[in-house]
Structure 1
């Protein structure tokens, strides 16, 4: 079996260092992972551009759904420019219509604005529901490199049947990258059922602020986590052994 690539999502300079030290093959660079990831700051992008492995930046202007207004799209275009100026390898995009289907028009405009940057379609795909094959076709037609998906479930290990169907719909035309809820403890059944070329994980542990008053004053989100290099290393070892 070919090597399985491990992408790790991070939202800080410390997380970036931990993921690379742990053996990640690619980084998804974000801010605010506790709400699913937002566009990272220009400063973090510039730092990440010095990494020894490819870095893709999340392009998501706000928390919530992926039904974007004209103003949202204007912000995203500016963020795409910032990614190009920083010198990162690619971007992570997604957009839906109100019915959950992919907004191909918005994604086409954003893809054009991304220019030569690599492109991953993020878990906006998971809102497509029973229309996953149509969503795969949209991603292929727009030239995305890969689709990050949990199979429509909160965690990928809960949706192995759906993921298998998505792999079948892709038929080798695009990489399907399972993600969400994957860890050294949960990856086994997925590897036994599917034949992924890439997987995505946060490899995080609970964040403990240096000053507990930060949490008491509301500066720390209850779901905040930090990248753990030992978890990255353990998951990568399992992928190498698969």
Structure 2
């Protein structure tokens, strides 16, 4: 039986600490999780490099869609260099064409760069295709493109906003992926939804494990420096998911 893994996406040092303490197998490092995650600052990348678990950097230069111009493509390339130079284990990338298909040419260029950087440091960068995949018009066909490009895994909710609502598609993707690529199920993963998601056969799951917390300083809200509620990575949720997966870990 394949070993199941828990990846936790975090956006600050407290999130890194909570993910590690709760038993996460891997961290996806981001900023701005409320808009699906953006590239984290270099200072956070350096801090995350000290974590005792593998860390993958999300390279996404802005919110919104995944059709990138030349300047934005250059930013992602530089983010890949940042991840390699910091000693992170991998990168999470994605790009689309105007019709929603995967931008294979852009992805191939980034992957070639990642491979060159991995070879230079003597350790490859793991490559995850992010949820730009979920916007493609034909997910199984996009999976084949991801395999051909050389991705190690695809982060996907099965083409729906929440993974638990796309179990049939997730199962289809897992079957089609075989041993060629890993299907990493994400979006809406929680202790309540995990059992159903695992019925699809996924080997890895991705969750934010966040909970809302009240802003303690009203002045920060009044001046626009904070929201009335914030979200923090909850070590208990991480631990709950890790425990639920533990029977599958060998």
State the TM-score, normalized to the length of structure 1: 0.94
- What residue in structure 2 maps to residue 105 of structure 1? 105
Which structure 1 residue ranges, 5 or more long, are not aligned? Answer: none
> Does the Cα contact within 8 Å between 2:134 and 2:156 map onto a contact in 1?
yes
Which SS does the other structure have where 2:243 is aligned?
helix
- What residue in structure 1 maps to residue 49 of structure 2? 49
1:1-242 correspondence to structure 2 within 5 Å? 1-115=1-115, 116=118, 117-129=125-137, 131-191=138-198, 193-220=199-226, 224-241=230-247
**Distance (Å, rounded) in 2 between the aligned partners of 1:132 and 1:224:** 34
Structure 1 position 197, deviation (Å) = 1.4
**Distance (Å, rounded) in 2 between the aligned partners of 1:91 and 1:4:** 20
> Does the Cα contact within 8 Å between 2:211 and 2:231 map onto a contact in 1?
yes
**Distance (Å, rounded) in 1 between the aligned partners of 2:230 and 2:13:** 15
> Does the Cα contact within 8 Å between 1:164 and 1:194 map onto a contact in 2?
yes
**Distance (Å, rounded) in 2 between the aligned partners of 1:223 and 1:92:** 28
**Distance (Å, rounded) in 1 between the aligned partners of 2:136 and 2:44:** 31
Aligned residue pair count:
240
**Distance (Å, rounded) in 2 between the aligned partners of 1:67 and 1:35:** 16
Which SS does the other structure have where 2:211 is aligned?
strand
**Distance (Å, rounded) in 2 between the aligned partners of 1:219 and 1:69:** 31
> Does the Cα contact within 8 Å between 1:92 and 1:120 map onto a contact in 2?
yes
The CA deviation string for residues 171-199 of structure 1, in whole angstroms up to 9 with x for no partner, is: 321000111001001111112x2222111
Which structure 2 residue ranges, 5 or more long, are not aligned? Answer: 119-124
Structure 1 residues 133 and 237: CA distance shift in structure 2, 3 A: same
Structure 1 position 45, deviation (Å) = 0.7
Structure 1 position 7, deviation (Å) = 0.2
RMSD of Structure 2 on Structure 1 (CA): 1.5
